[in-house]
Amino acid sequence: MSTELDWLRERVEAVMGARPGVTRKRMFGCDTWFRDGAIFALIWKTGRIGVKLPDSEAYSALARVNGVEPWSPGGKMIMGSWLLVPDTWNEDEDALRPWVSRAWEQAGGGAAAKKKASPKKASSKEGAPQKPAAKKAARRGHDER
């Protein structure tokens, strides 16, 4: 017997098509999709499809769509970069496809994913003297024998 979540899994896979590097796993009690080890989509237990959009412009664009909500498992902590698409998109492949595609692209480290802020470099100045590491203090009873 097929459940609604089985149907949604088939829907997401149909929208995704044959994309390289995609694997499906069970995590968080739901179906999840990865691209070369990086998670990019899921079907939450409530029957909502979620996409991970680390690019702030893509995230903001989708967040403005009516019916989109941040993914908040348990209703307490919001998962960064994750949005649940409107449940009406469960039956609207044309609305769902571009966002699943964007999530897949960003999971692959492509141009869209690279828009994310790059990590700051270490603040040590070239040529500045380095402070020596502190020596460990001998503990009584352990070093005295």
Dist CA 59 CA 19 (whole Å): 22
Q: Which CATH number fits domain 4-111: 3.40.50.1260, 3.90.1150.10, 3.30.1460.30, 3.40.640.10?
A: 3.30.1460.30
Lowest mean pLDDT among 47-51, 73-77, 107-111, 119-123: 119-123
Residue in 107, 139, 86 with CA at minimum distance from that of residue 41: 107
Confidence of residue 87 (pLDDT cuts 50, 70, 90): very high
DSSP 38: E
Q: What is the pLDDT of residues 30-51, one digit of tens each?
A: 899 999 998 899 998 888 999 9
3-state secondary structure 94-145: HHHHHHHHHHHHHHCCCCCHHHCCCCCCCCCCCCCCCCCCCCCCCCCCCCCC
The residue-averaged pLDDT of 41-62 equals 92
pTM of the model: 0.69
Q: Identify the pLDDT of residue 45.
A: 86
Confidence of residue 80 (pLDDT cuts 50, 70, 90): confident
The domain limits of the chain are 4-111
